[in-house]
Amino acid sequence: MIIIVDKPPAMTSHQVVAKIRHAFPRKIKIGHTGTLDPICTGVLPILTDADTTLSDLLPSDKSYRASFLLGLKTDTQDITGTVLSRQNTDIPLTSVEEALMYFRGKIMQIPPMYSAVKVNGEKLYKLAREGKTIERKPRQIEIYSAELCGYDEQKGYYIDVSCSKGTYIRTLCSDIGDYLGVGACMTSLRRTASNGFYEKDAHSLDEVISFAEKGSLSDISVDSEIPFMDLNEVFLPSDGAKYYLNGGIIGSTRVKEEMSIGAQYRVKSPDGCFLGLGVCTELGLKSIWLRYR
């Protein structure tokens, strides 16, 4: 099953998973698709049982709504950290919009010290808690869109961002402040989309726990085919489905649909049931994930 949780604030992704696991009436394999900072709320896909193996195959793009204050810098790059500097600013909205233009597209980003990124086998946040700062190599990310969408005296500027996997939004906010010459600190963050799922798919943690305790989590689950609807579908021949499900490769001439080598497909049974994901190789259609094991 895939359950989309609306992660509450002040909790880690691991704590969310632990609460759901504890509420489940039977032993269950369960995990999430990517860590969210405690300050962050919003879309957190939870995978259970056979669907846990989908984690690396799901679409990796994310979308967020964030807010940040200009003129305030902290050691964590968000409002939960220790203040490093503070200054009054008078930056016009047009300058913030111009700064956002600079950060769109493929850019290099240095991971923050307070992150789970490993350097020489050690997680950066553990070193940061020891008061250590080490050199980090910049990594390429992509900001597909970044739009200014509001302003609040307490939270500051609000932006909507769509980005690639591995993007740190608090670092983006900090970098925007540095670009404007005054520094910045992220004050709030909400993930609005992740791995092909959206806010409309999400349920509160309390609701998920309630359904888990009743053993009816499937009532609010999302079908594993949903995040892959942009892939073309391929129907197995009636005399080849069992062979395919047992690991066999189906020759390209044995399916009616045209396939391209290297492309991935939603694989369907002859009667249209979603069986999993496959990739077209030189030998034919090969399974990369089976829904039923």
What are the residue numbers of the active site?
Answer: 37
Crossing angle of helices 93-102 and 169-179, in 10° steps, is 120
Q: Can you read off the two tokens belonging to residue 72?
A: 């305030």
Nearest to 32, CA basis, from 52, 7, 12: 52
Euclidean distance between the first and the last CA atom of the chain, given in angstroms as a whole number: 13
Distance CA 266, CA 260 (A): 13
Element containing residue 206 per DSSP (H, E): helix 205-213
Distance CA 183, CA 87 (A): 9
Q: Is 140 exposed, middle or buried (0-12, 13-18, 19+ CB in 10 A)?
A: exposed
Distance CA 273, CA 252 (A): 20
Distance CA 124, CA 239 (A): 53
Distance CA 214, CA 207 (A): 11
Q: Which residue has the tokens 């999993």?
A: 276
Distance CA 45, CA 50 (A): 14
